Amino acid sequence: MNLSKTSQYAIRVISFMAYDNRQIYPASVLVKKLKISDKYLKRLLTTLSKHGIVRSIQGRYGGFVLDKKPENIFIYDIVAAVENIEKYYGCILGFSECSDENPCPLHEKWAPIRDELINLLKNTSIADVVKNPKIMKF
């Protein structure tokens, strides 16, 4: 019951960068600050840049910058950028024959929870996440 580790990494990086979204952070700094595997994080950053969540600046004195204001970056977009978001819409039991149209008794209770979670992801911005000083003690 959690986002993939990759999604969590992505959220952490973006959260960190949200502190000062004008500053250019080279990957090396982010790796050191967040203690995430060097190459894995770099690859992740490239992915995020291709999805327009960060902007990459190549060459010397380059790095990564947030491409939008933290208020406009939603967790849902980050997750959708790095993993298959469809997964979050499926049946919790893994059945395929049924859906909203053919609900089991569980569905009535599951669907609202699922929808709440998706809405949470869609409505929560990085600015919201960053409000907690505890989290940001990297």
Partner DNA sequence: TTCATATACTACATTATTGTGGTATTTGAT
Partner DNA sequence: ATCAAATACCACAATAATGTAGTATATGAA
CB atoms within 10 A of CB 80: 18
Q: Contacting DNA (CB under 7 A), which of 13, 27, 80, 126?
A: 27
Q: Minimum CB separation from a copy of itself for residue 59, in Å? A: 32
CA angle 39, 83, 111 (to 5 degrees): 150
When asked if residue 12 is in the footprint of ligand SF4 (CB under 6 A), the reply is: no
38 contact, one of a copy of itself, ligand SF4, DNA, none, CB 5-8 Å limit per kind: DNA
When asked if residue 57 is in the footprint of a copy of itself (CB under 8 A), the reply is: no
From 114, 44, 35, select the one nearest 79 (Cα to Cα): 44
Residues 86-115, interacting with ligand SF4 (CB under 6 A): 91-93, 95, 98-99, 103-104, 106-107, 110
In DSSP terms, 63 is beta-bridged to 57
**Which single residue is written with the structure tokens 């960068």?**
17
**Which single residue is written with the structure tokens 């989290």?**
135
By C-beta, is 65 or 111 nearer to ligand SF4? 111
When asked if residue 32 is in the footprint of DNA (CB under 7 A), the reply is: no
From the list 26-34, 51-59, 64-72, 97-105, the region that binds a copy of itself by CB under 8 A is 97-105
Is residue 108 exposed (0-12), middle (13-18) or buried (19+ Cβ within 10 Å)?
A: exposed
